[in-house]
Amino acid sequence: MNMNRRAMLARTAALAGASVLGFPMIGRAATPSYTYGGSAWLGHYSAYIAMKTGLFAKQGLDIKWQSFATSSDRMSAVMAGNVDLAGTGVVSSLALMAAGARQFQVIATPNNFGRAEGVLVREDVTSVAGLKGKKIGVTYASSAHVLLLDVLRQAGLDPDKDVSIINLPATNILSAYQGKQIDAAVAWTPAFDRIKAVPGTHVLLDDTAFSLYKQYAITPGPDVLLTRAKLGKDDPDAVRKFLRAVFEANAMLSGQPEEAAGVLLELTGLSKEDQLAVIKQTQWYSAADQKALMVDPGNFVSGMQKLAEMLVSLKQIDRAPKVKDWVQVSYL
């Protein structure tokens, strides 16, 4: 290629904010790109809305979406450095805290849900005691698993002897239930809503039956938002902008639920009616709510600590970490 021609192309590319043929990029700075780890669970609604409606872009953020079937898979990606920002059920992060992992920070809690997860049974079961001898499908190391273990203990049932607990990926629970491979299912939305719609099925209980719910308003696996610790160190302003966009999306979920439901249908596959019901039965926290939850008096952090101690008693983790050591509120 003629050198003058090559130089002209390089200058043109630089002005466009790109690089060509190895020439360094000058002129307009590229928008940094970050990966968010999510799923169709409601804890990710605000991030999905922020991405789809341009709220992240308005903050100058380029956020790529990556879906994971479970919180455990998502946290593994965070630990490996493949995900920068994420929402997760807190159980999987508590397990990593207990192991001393420092690769992530908890930065906020986006919502409070209590009726979007629960134990689903057939008509012959009318109480937790009625689960004795049944095969129960649930995803291990999830909030649903913690809920099941807790309510069995409340009812005096031994999870190792009185019931058969079958470990199933969240995406397989519906088909296992429909195929009668399991007698009962413990799941979260959208699987929860789909199983609930199976003829002859009813909700035996939801997260409001959880031991810690009444005192701390905390579910078996409350949602948290987190950042990779390295991103927080290298670009704390990006984390602040991420949270601003998320809380703008939460304002839409609270104040414009119909509009929010329309955005979410592609993610969840729910009907508009069911999607709207999930949104309306969930409390969407604002940025202002975070102070009482995370800082002063920090009721949510206290609840997470109690949950960590419960996980030890349920033999899900070996020791209870000091949860507040992983909470970073400077981005709020």
Distances, alpha carbon 45 to alpha carbons 50, 215, 313, in Å: 9, 26, 32
The number of C-alpha atoms within 13 Å of 93 and in the hemisphere containing its C-beta is 31
pLDDT at 3: 40
Largest CA distance in the chain: 83
Helices 257-268, 272-280: axis angle to 10 degrees equals 120
User: Mind listing the pLDDT tens digit for each residue in 193-230?
Assistant: 999 999 999 999 999 999 999 778 889 999 999 999 99
Tokens 């990006």 correspond to: 238
Q: Where are the domains of the chain?
A: 1-27, 33-113+219-326, 122-216
How many C-beta atoms surround the C-beta of residue 54 within 10 A? 10
> Coil, strand, or helix at residue 92?
helix
How many C-beta atoms surround the C-beta of residue 196 within 10 A? 16
> Coil, strand, or helix at residue 236?
helix
> Can you tell me the distance from the alpha carbon of 162 to that of 169, in angstroms, rounded to the nearest whole number?
22
CATH of domain 33-113+219-326: 3.40.190.10
In 31-151, the DSSP E strands lie at 33-38, 62-67, 85-89, 104-108, 111-112, 117-122, 135-138
> Coil, strand, or helix at residue 42?
helix
CATH of domain 122-216: 3.40.190.10
Ranges of residues in the chain whose predicted pLDDT is under 50: 1-28
> Can you tell me the distance from the alpha carbon of 225 to that of 284, in angstroms, rounded to the nearest whole number?
13
With CA atoms as reference, report the closest residue to 118 among 171, 222, 184, 192: 192
> Coil, strand, or helix at residue 165?
strand
> Coil, strand, or helix at residue 149?
helix
In the chain, the DSSP E strands lie at 33-38, 62-67, 85-89, 104-108, 111-112, 117-122, 135-138, 164-167, 184-188, 201-206, 223-228, 283-284
Q: Are 37 and 72 in contact (CB under 8 A)?
A: no
Q: Are 135 and 309 in contact (CB under 8 A)?
A: no
With CA atoms as reference, report the closest residue to 17 among 33, 35, 2, 31: 31
CA quadruple 293, 244, 36, 327: dihedral sign? negative
pLDDT at 29: 57
Q: For residue 104, what are the contacts with CB-CB under 8 A and spacing of at least 6? A: 75, 78, 79, 93, 96, 226, 227, 228, 229, 326
